Amino acid sequence: MSFKTAVLLLPLLFTSLIIGLSIINLSACNIYIRVGTGFLQRFQSTLVVAEHNNDKLTPITLNAITAASKLGGEVSCLVAGTDCAKVVEQISKVQGVKKVLVAQHDSYKGSLPEELTPLILATQKQFSFTHICAGASAFGKNLLPRVAAKLDVAPVSDIIEIKSPDTFVRTIYAGNALSTVKCNESVKVFTVRGTSFEAASTEGGNATSENVAPSSPTGISEWLEQSLTKSDRPELTSAKVVVSGGRGLKSGENFKLLYDLADKLNAAVGASRAAVDAGFVPNDMQVGQTGKIVAPELYIAVGISGAIQHLAGMKDSKTIVAINKDPEAPIFQVADYGLVADLFKAVPEMTEALSK
Protein backbone atom coordinates (compact mmCIF):
# COMPACT_ATOMS: atom_id res chain seq x y z
CA MET A 1 0.00 0.00 0.00
CA SER A 2 1.43 3.40 -0.98
CA PHE A 3 1.68 6.25 1.45
CA LYS A 4 -1.04 8.13 -0.40
CA THR A 5 -3.62 5.39 -0.12
CA ALA A 6 -2.73 4.92 3.48
CA VAL A 7 -3.44 8.56 4.17
CA LEU A 8 -6.67 8.31 2.22
CA LEU A 9 -7.72 5.23 4.15
CA LEU A 10 -6.94 6.59 7.57
CA PRO A 11 -10.00 8.82 8.04
CA LEU A 12 -12.08 6.03 6.61
CA LEU A 13 -10.71 3.61 9.12
CA PHE A 14 -11.31 6.13 11.86
CA THR A 15 -14.96 6.64 10.94
CA SER A 16 -15.57 2.94 10.79
CA LEU A 17 -13.77 2.56 14.07
CA ILE A 18 -16.26 4.88 15.70
CA ILE A 19 -19.15 3.10 14.04
CA GLY A 20 -17.63 -0.16 15.04
CA LEU A 21 -17.47 0.91 18.64
CA SER A 22 -20.91 2.42 18.87
CA ILE A 23 -22.63 -0.50 17.18
CA ILE A 24 -20.27 -3.17 18.28
CA ASN A 25 -22.70 -5.92 17.38
CA LEU A 26 -22.33 -5.21 13.70
CA SER A 27 -20.28 -7.81 11.97
CA ALA A 28 -16.61 -7.45 11.16
CA CYS A 29 -15.79 -5.44 14.24
CA ASN A 30 -13.18 -7.86 15.47
CA ILE A 31 -10.40 -5.67 14.18
CA TYR A 32 -11.71 -2.69 16.14
CA ILE A 33 -11.93 -4.71 19.27
CA ARG A 34 -8.29 -5.57 18.84
CA VAL A 35 -7.45 -1.93 18.08
CA GLY A 36 -9.28 -0.59 21.10
CA THR A 37 -8.38 -3.06 23.80
CA GLY A 38 -9.27 -0.42 26.37
CA PHE A 39 -12.85 -0.67 25.21
CA LEU A 40 -12.86 -4.43 25.29
CA GLN A 41 -14.19 -4.69 28.78
CA ARG A 42 -17.23 -2.55 28.07
CA PHE A 43 -18.24 -4.37 24.95
CA GLN A 44 -18.10 -7.91 26.21
CA SER A 45 -20.80 -10.07 24.71
CA THR A 46 -21.18 -13.73 25.44
CA LEU A 47 -23.02 -16.49 23.69
CA VAL A 48 -24.04 -19.43 25.84
CA VAL A 49 -24.93 -22.49 23.82
CA ALA A 50 -27.92 -23.98 25.63
CA GLU A 51 -28.09 -27.70 26.23
CA HIS A 52 -31.56 -29.19 26.27
CA ASN A 53 -33.64 -32.16 25.16
CA ASN A 54 -36.34 -30.19 23.32
CA ASP A 55 -38.40 -30.24 26.46
CA LYS A 56 -36.22 -29.07 29.29
CA LEU A 57 -33.12 -27.00 29.68
CA THR A 58 -30.22 -29.09 31.04
CA PRO A 59 -29.28 -27.68 34.49
CA ILE A 60 -25.58 -27.16 33.62
CA THR A 61 -26.65 -24.41 31.20
CA LEU A 62 -27.74 -22.39 34.23
CA ASN A 63 -24.24 -22.68 35.72
CA ALA A 64 -22.76 -21.64 32.39
CA ILE A 65 -25.04 -18.57 32.35
CA THR A 66 -23.72 -17.57 35.79
CA ALA A 67 -20.17 -17.88 34.49
CA ALA A 68 -21.07 -15.85 31.42
CA SER A 69 -22.61 -13.14 33.62
CA LYS A 70 -19.33 -12.84 35.51
CA LEU A 71 -17.67 -11.59 32.33
CA GLY A 72 -19.63 -8.39 32.72
CA GLY A 73 -21.16 -8.06 29.28
CA GLU A 74 -24.39 -8.93 27.58
CA VAL A 75 -25.37 -12.61 27.70
CA SER A 76 -27.20 -14.25 24.83
CA CYS A 77 -28.29 -17.88 24.64
CA LEU A 78 -28.56 -19.99 21.55
CA VAL A 79 -31.28 -22.62 21.55
CA ALA A 80 -30.99 -24.98 18.61
CA GLY A 81 -33.18 -28.03 18.27
CA THR A 82 -36.06 -29.68 16.53
CA ASP A 83 -38.61 -28.21 18.90
CA CYS A 84 -37.47 -25.14 20.80
CA ALA A 85 -40.60 -23.39 22.09
CA LYS A 86 -40.62 -24.83 25.62
CA VAL A 87 -36.92 -24.32 26.18
CA VAL A 88 -37.03 -20.78 24.83
CA GLU A 89 -39.82 -20.01 27.26
CA GLN A 90 -37.75 -21.40 30.18
CA ILE A 91 -34.56 -19.66 29.21
CA SER A 92 -36.26 -16.30 28.62
CA LYS A 93 -37.02 -16.19 32.33
CA VAL A 94 -33.50 -17.04 33.46
CA GLN A 95 -31.84 -14.19 35.26
CA GLY A 96 -28.98 -12.59 33.39
CA VAL A 97 -30.01 -13.58 29.89
CA LYS A 98 -30.65 -10.63 27.62
CA LYS A 99 -31.44 -12.32 24.36
CA VAL A 100 -32.41 -15.78 23.23
CA LEU A 101 -31.46 -16.79 19.73
CA VAL A 102 -33.60 -19.58 18.36
CA ALA A 103 -32.79 -21.96 15.54
CA GLN A 104 -35.34 -24.66 14.95
CA HIS A 105 -34.76 -27.26 12.29
CA ASP A 106 -35.02 -31.01 11.89
CA SER A 107 -31.30 -31.25 11.17
CA TYR A 108 -30.59 -30.39 14.81
CA LYS A 109 -31.96 -33.77 15.89
CA GLY A 110 -29.52 -35.32 18.34
CA SER A 111 -27.53 -32.06 18.62
CA LEU A 112 -24.86 -33.26 16.21
CA PRO A 113 -21.80 -31.00 16.28
CA GLU A 114 -21.47 -31.24 12.49
CA GLU A 115 -24.82 -29.46 12.20
CA LEU A 116 -24.58 -27.11 15.16
CA THR A 117 -21.12 -25.77 14.34
CA PRO A 118 -22.11 -24.00 11.08
CA LEU A 119 -25.05 -22.47 12.93
CA ILE A 120 -22.83 -21.13 15.70
CA LEU A 121 -20.35 -19.80 13.16
CA ALA A 122 -23.14 -17.99 11.30
CA THR A 123 -24.44 -16.58 14.58
CA GLN A 124 -20.94 -15.48 15.50
CA LYS A 125 -20.55 -13.79 12.12
CA GLN A 126 -23.75 -11.87 12.67
CA PHE A 127 -23.25 -10.84 16.30
CA SER A 128 -19.46 -10.95 16.84
CA PHE A 129 -19.46 -12.28 20.38
CA THR A 130 -16.28 -11.88 22.39
CA HIS A 131 -17.00 -15.12 24.29
CA ILE A 132 -18.71 -18.37 23.38
CA CYS A 133 -19.32 -20.93 26.11
CA ALA A 134 -21.28 -23.96 27.21
CA GLY A 135 -21.33 -26.30 30.18
CA ALA A 136 -18.52 -28.86 30.29
CA SER A 137 -20.89 -31.79 29.79
CA ALA A 138 -20.64 -34.46 27.11
CA PHE A 139 -22.59 -32.05 24.89
CA GLY A 140 -20.33 -29.03 25.49
CA LYS A 141 -17.11 -31.03 25.29
CA ASN A 142 -18.20 -32.53 22.00
CA LEU A 143 -19.27 -29.27 20.40
CA LEU A 144 -17.14 -26.33 21.52
CA PRO A 145 -13.68 -27.52 20.41
CA ARG A 146 -15.13 -28.03 16.94
CA VAL A 147 -16.42 -24.45 16.94
CA ALA A 148 -13.09 -23.15 18.23
CA ALA A 149 -11.08 -24.90 15.52
CA LYS A 150 -13.34 -23.40 12.88
CA LEU A 151 -12.67 -19.97 14.37
CA ASP A 152 -8.95 -20.85 14.51
CA VAL A 153 -8.78 -20.18 18.25
CA ALA A 154 -7.57 -22.35 21.13
CA PRO A 155 -10.48 -23.18 23.45
CA VAL A 156 -10.24 -23.45 27.23
CA SER A 157 -11.83 -26.53 28.81
CA ASP A 158 -13.75 -26.97 32.01
CA ILE A 159 -12.95 -23.66 33.72
CA ILE A 160 -13.52 -23.39 37.45
CA GLU A 161 -12.97 -19.66 37.86
CA ILE A 162 -13.01 -16.45 35.83
CA LYS A 163 -10.32 -13.98 36.91
CA SER A 164 -10.99 -11.49 34.13
CA PRO A 165 -12.53 -11.61 30.65
CA ASP A 166 -9.35 -13.20 29.31
CA THR A 167 -7.98 -15.07 32.31
CA PHE A 168 -9.39 -18.36 33.50
CA VAL A 169 -8.50 -21.04 36.03
CA ARG A 170 -8.83 -24.72 35.18
CA THR A 171 -7.58 -27.95 36.67
CA ILE A 172 -4.98 -30.18 35.06
CA TYR A 173 -3.54 -33.58 36.00
CA ALA A 174 -6.81 -34.97 37.34
CA GLY A 175 -7.43 -31.97 39.54
CA ASN A 176 -3.99 -32.13 41.16
CA ALA A 177 -2.91 -28.73 39.86
CA LEU A 178 -4.64 -25.47 39.05
CA SER A 179 -3.60 -23.74 35.87
CA THR A 180 -4.25 -20.04 35.36
CA VAL A 181 -4.52 -19.39 31.63
CA LYS A 182 -4.54 -16.11 29.75
CA CYS A 183 -6.35 -16.42 26.48
CA ASN A 184 -5.18 -13.93 23.88
CA GLU A 185 -7.58 -15.11 21.21
CA SER A 186 -9.99 -12.70 19.51
CA VAL A 187 -12.87 -14.92 20.58
CA LYS A 188 -12.70 -16.83 23.83
CA VAL A 189 -14.28 -20.24 23.53
CA PHE A 190 -14.62 -22.17 26.77
CA THR A 191 -16.57 -24.79 28.67
CA VAL A 192 -17.66 -24.28 32.27
CA ARG A 193 -17.42 -26.76 35.14
CA GLY A 194 -20.99 -26.81 36.40
CA THR A 195 -20.11 -27.46 40.02
CA SER A 196 -17.86 -24.38 40.21
CA PHE A 197 -20.57 -21.84 39.47
CA GLU A 198 -24.00 -21.39 41.09
CA ALA A 199 -27.03 -22.04 38.91
CA ALA A 200 -28.64 -18.86 37.59
CA SER A 201 -32.14 -18.25 38.90
CA THR A 202 -34.85 -19.57 36.60
CA GLU A 203 -37.12 -16.69 37.47
CA GLY A 204 -37.05 -12.95 37.17
CA GLY A 205 -35.36 -12.77 33.79
CA ASN A 206 -36.96 -11.14 30.82
CA ALA A 207 -35.06 -11.92 27.66
CA THR A 208 -36.18 -11.13 24.17
CA SER A 209 -36.12 -13.89 21.64
CA GLU A 210 -35.09 -13.72 18.05
CA ASN A 211 -35.01 -16.34 15.33
CA VAL A 212 -31.77 -17.02 13.58
CA ALA A 213 -31.67 -18.70 10.20
CA PRO A 214 -30.88 -22.41 10.49
CA SER A 215 -27.76 -23.48 8.65
CA SER A 216 -28.13 -25.81 5.71
CA PRO A 217 -27.72 -29.47 6.73
CA THR A 218 -24.27 -30.96 6.17
CA GLY A 219 -25.54 -34.53 6.23
CA ILE A 220 -22.17 -36.06 7.13
CA SER A 221 -23.45 -37.58 10.34
CA GLU A 222 -26.69 -39.06 11.51
CA TRP A 223 -28.14 -39.56 14.96
CA LEU A 224 -29.70 -43.01 15.31
CA GLU A 225 -30.79 -43.60 18.88
CA GLN A 226 -30.01 -43.22 22.53
CA SER A 227 -30.50 -45.40 25.54
CA LEU A 228 -30.71 -43.40 28.71
CA THR A 229 -30.38 -44.88 32.16
CA LYS A 230 -33.74 -44.36 33.79
CA SER A 231 -33.86 -43.44 37.45
CA ASP A 232 -36.12 -41.66 39.90
CA ARG A 233 -33.13 -40.46 41.87
CA PRO A 234 -31.76 -36.94 41.52
CA GLU A 235 -29.34 -36.30 38.68
CA LEU A 236 -25.77 -37.12 39.69
CA THR A 237 -23.98 -33.87 38.86
CA SER A 238 -26.48 -31.65 40.64
CA ALA A 239 -27.53 -33.85 43.58
CA LYS A 240 -27.00 -32.49 47.11
CA VAL A 241 -26.03 -35.92 48.37
CA VAL A 242 -24.19 -38.62 46.46
CA VAL A 243 -23.63 -42.20 47.57
CA SER A 244 -20.96 -43.96 45.52
CA GLY A 245 -19.83 -47.54 45.36
CA GLY A 246 -16.64 -49.15 44.19
CA ARG A 247 -15.09 -52.54 43.69
CA GLY A 248 -15.81 -53.35 47.33
CA LEU A 249 -19.49 -53.83 46.47
CA LYS A 250 -18.46 -57.06 44.73
CA SER A 251 -21.52 -57.30 42.45
CA GLY A 252 -24.25 -55.35 40.73
CA GLU A 253 -26.88 -56.88 43.03
CA ASN A 254 -25.09 -55.54 46.08
CA PHE A 255 -25.50 -52.01 44.76
CA LYS A 256 -29.05 -52.34 46.05
CA LEU A 257 -27.59 -51.62 49.49
CA LEU A 258 -26.50 -48.22 48.19
CA TYR A 259 -29.81 -47.55 46.44
CA ASP A 260 -31.62 -48.18 49.72
CA LEU A 261 -29.30 -45.83 51.57
CA ALA A 262 -29.56 -43.25 48.78
CA ASP A 263 -33.35 -43.37 48.96
CA LYS A 264 -33.23 -42.44 52.64
CA LEU A 265 -30.99 -39.48 51.84
CA ASN A 266 -32.66 -38.49 48.57
CA ALA A 267 -29.23 -39.00 47.09
CA ALA A 268 -27.91 -39.79 43.65
CA VAL A 269 -25.81 -42.91 43.25
CA GLY A 270 -22.35 -42.78 41.70
CA ALA A 271 -19.59 -45.29 41.12
CA SER A 272 -15.87 -45.67 40.70
CA ARG A 273 -14.35 -46.82 37.44
CA ALA A 274 -13.73 -50.27 38.94
CA ALA A 275 -17.45 -50.72 39.59
CA VAL A 276 -18.32 -49.64 36.05
CA ASP A 277 -15.65 -51.80 34.42
CA ALA A 278 -16.77 -54.80 36.44
CA GLY A 279 -20.26 -54.24 35.03
CA PHE A 280 -21.92 -53.51 38.41
CA VAL A 281 -23.46 -50.28 37.08
CA PRO A 282 -23.68 -48.34 33.78
CA ASN A 283 -20.88 -45.99 32.73
CA ASP A 284 -22.90 -42.81 33.11
CA MET A 285 -22.67 -43.30 36.89
CA GLN A 286 -18.89 -43.01 36.90
CA VAL A 287 -17.45 -40.23 39.03
CA GLY A 288 -13.90 -39.14 38.30
CA GLN A 289 -11.41 -37.54 35.95
CA THR A 290 -12.96 -39.19 32.94
CA GLY A 291 -16.47 -39.55 34.28
CA LYS A 292 -18.59 -36.94 35.98
CA ILE A 293 -17.36 -34.20 38.27
CA VAL A 294 -19.58 -33.76 41.32
CA ALA A 295 -19.38 -31.43 44.29
CA PRO A 296 -22.35 -32.27 46.51
CA GLU A 297 -22.81 -31.21 50.11
CA LEU A 298 -22.29 -34.79 51.18
CA TYR A 299 -20.38 -37.50 49.33
CA ILE A 300 -20.40 -40.98 50.79
CA ALA A 301 -17.75 -43.26 49.28
CA VAL A 302 -18.44 -46.91 49.96
CA GLY A 303 -15.88 -49.56 49.12
CA ILE A 304 -13.86 -47.07 47.07
CA SER A 305 -10.10 -46.97 47.63
CA GLY A 306 -9.73 -43.40 46.43
CA ALA A 307 -7.44 -43.51 43.40
CA ILE A 308 -6.23 -40.16 41.97
CA GLN A 309 -8.65 -40.54 39.07
CA HIS A 310 -11.67 -40.97 41.34
CA LEU A 311 -10.71 -38.14 43.70
CA ALA A 312 -10.57 -35.83 40.64
CA GLY A 313 -14.32 -36.17 40.36
CA MET A 314 -15.41 -35.62 43.96
CA LYS A 315 -12.81 -33.91 46.10
CA ASP A 316 -14.60 -30.57 46.00
CA SER A 317 -17.54 -32.09 47.86
CA LYS A 318 -18.31 -30.15 51.06
CA THR A 319 -18.28 -33.17 53.33
CA ILE A 320 -16.76 -36.50 52.41
CA VAL A 321 -17.54 -39.73 54.22
CA ALA A 322 -15.60 -42.93 53.58
CA ILE A 323 -16.71 -46.40 54.53
CA ASN A 324 -13.95 -48.89 53.85
CA LYS A 325 -12.53 -51.87 55.64
CA ASP A 326 -8.96 -50.99 54.66
CA PRO A 327 -7.65 -48.35 57.09
CA GLU A 328 -4.82 -47.57 54.65
CA ALA A 329 -7.15 -46.69 51.76
CA PRO A 330 -6.20 -43.27 50.32
CA ILE A 331 -9.85 -42.19 50.47
CA PHE A 332 -9.38 -41.66 54.24
CA GLN A 333 -6.89 -38.88 53.49
CA VAL A 334 -9.62 -36.71 52.01
CA ALA A 335 -12.56 -37.93 54.12
CA ASP A 336 -13.98 -35.66 56.81
CA TYR A 337 -15.49 -38.69 58.51
CA GLY A 338 -14.02 -42.11 58.03
CA LEU A 339 -15.47 -45.39 59.21
CA VAL A 340 -13.23 -48.44 59.03
CA ALA A 341 -15.80 -51.19 58.73
CA ASP A 342 -17.26 -53.86 56.52
CA LEU A 343 -19.64 -52.06 54.20
CA PHE A 344 -22.01 -55.04 54.12
CA LYS A 345 -22.64 -54.45 57.79
CA ALA A 346 -22.22 -50.68 58.02
CA VAL A 347 -24.40 -49.63 55.07
CA PRO A 348 -27.57 -51.51 56.16
CA GLU A 349 -27.00 -50.21 59.68
CA MET A 350 -26.80 -46.68 58.40
CA THR A 351 -29.94 -47.13 56.29
CA GLU A 352 -31.71 -48.37 59.37
CA ALA A 353 -30.40 -45.57 61.56
CA LEU A 354 -31.78 -43.07 59.07
CA SER A 355 -35.20 -44.76 59.06
CA LYS A 356 -35.71 -43.95 62.69
Partner 1 sequence: MSGRVLVGVKRVIDYAVKIRVKPDNSGVVTDGVKHSMNPFCEIAVEEAVKLKEKKLIKEVVAVSCGPQQAQETIRTALAMGADRGIHVEVSGKDYDALGPLQVSKILAALAKKEEAQLIILGKQAIDDDCNQTGQMTAALLDWPQGTFASEVSLEGDKVKVLREIDGGLETIKINTPAVVTADLRLNTPRYATLPNIMKAKKKKIVNVKPADLGVDVTSRLEILRVDDPPQRQAGVKVETVEDLVGKLKEAGRI
Binding residues for FAD: 247, 272-273, 286-290, 303-310, 324
Q: Let me know if 164 is exposed, middle or buried by CB neighbors in 10 A (0-12, 13-18, 19+).
A: exposed
Say if residues 275 and 281 touch (Cβ distance below 8 Å): yes
> Residue 2 or residue 37: which is nearer to partner 1 going by CB?
37
Q: Return the range that interacts with partner 1 (CB under 8 A); candidates 79-87, 154-162, 201-209, 243-251.
A: 154-162
Distance CA 259, CA 304 (A): 16
Distance CA 209, CA 327 (A): 57
Q: Which residue in 129, 139, 197, 255 binds partner 1 (CB under 8 A)? A: 139
Consecutive H or E run containing 118 = helix 113-127
**Minimum distance of partner 1 from residue 239's CB (angstroms):** 13
Q: Let me know if 61 is exposed, middle or buried by CB neighbors in 10 A (0-12, 13-18, 19+).
A: buried
Residues 218-247 that bind partner 1 (CB under 8 A): 220-229, 237, 241
Residues 104-123 that bind partner 1 (CB under 8 A): 110, 112-114, 117
**Minimum distance of partner 1 from residue 15's CB (angstroms):** 29
> Residue 129 or residue 190: which is nearer to partner 1 going by CB?
190
Helix (H, G, I), strand (E, B) or coil at 32: helix
Q: Which residue in 174, 209, 254, 260 binds partner 1 (CB under 8 A)? A: 174
**If you ran DSSP here, which 8-state letter would residue 288 be given?**
S
Q: Which residue in 138, 208, 211, 256 binds partner 1 (CB under 8 A)? A: 138
**If you ran DSSP here, which 8-state letter would residue 287 be given?**
B
Tell me the C-alpha to C-alpha distance, in Å, between residue 181 and each of 165, 166, 244.
11, 8, 33
Q: Binding-site residue total for partner 1 (CB under 8 A)? A: 88
195 near partner 1 (CB under 8 A) = no
40 near partner 1 (CB under 8 A) = no
> Residue 176 or residue 211: which is nearer to partner 1 going by CB?
176
Residues 43-62 that bind partner 1 (CB under 8 A): none
User: What x-and-dash track marks residues 243-282 binding partner 1 by CB under 8 A?
Assistant: ----------------------x-------x--xx----x
Q: How many CB atoms lie under 10 A from the CB of residue 345? A: 11
131 near partner 1 (CB under 8 A) = no
> Residue 48 or residue 307: which is nearer to partner 1 going by CB?
307
Strand partners, 132: 47, 189
Q: Which residues contact 233 (CB under 8 A, 6 or more apart)?
A: 239, 259, 262, 263, 266, 267, 268, 269
Q: Which residues contact 296 (CB under 8 A, 6 or more apart)?
A: 239, 240, 241, 242, 267, 268, 317, 318
> Residue 65 or residue 343: which is nearer to partner 1 going by CB?
343
297 near partner 1 (CB under 8 A) = yes
Q: How many CB atoms lie under 10 A from the CB of residue 117? A: 20
**Minimum distance of partner 1 from residue 10's CB (angstroms):** 28
Q: Which residue in 52, 131, 310, 315 binds partner 1 (CB under 8 A)? A: 315
Q: Return the range that interacts with partner 1 (CB under 8 A); candidates 79-87, 99-107, 249-257, 336-344.
A: 336-344
Say if residues 121 and 148 touch (Cβ distance below 8 Å): no
**Minimum distance of partner 1 from residue 128's CB (angstroms):** 18
Say if residues 253 and 220 touch (Cβ distance below 8 Å): no
Consecutive H or E run containing 8 = helix 3-22
Q: Return the range that interacts with partner 1 (CB under 8 A); candidates 18-26, 86-94, 180-188, 242-250.
A: 180-188
> Residue 28 or residue 138: which is nearer to partner 1 going by CB?
138
Q: Return the range that interacts with partner 1 (CB under 8 A); candidates 19-27, 82-90, 196-204, 286-294.
A: 286-294
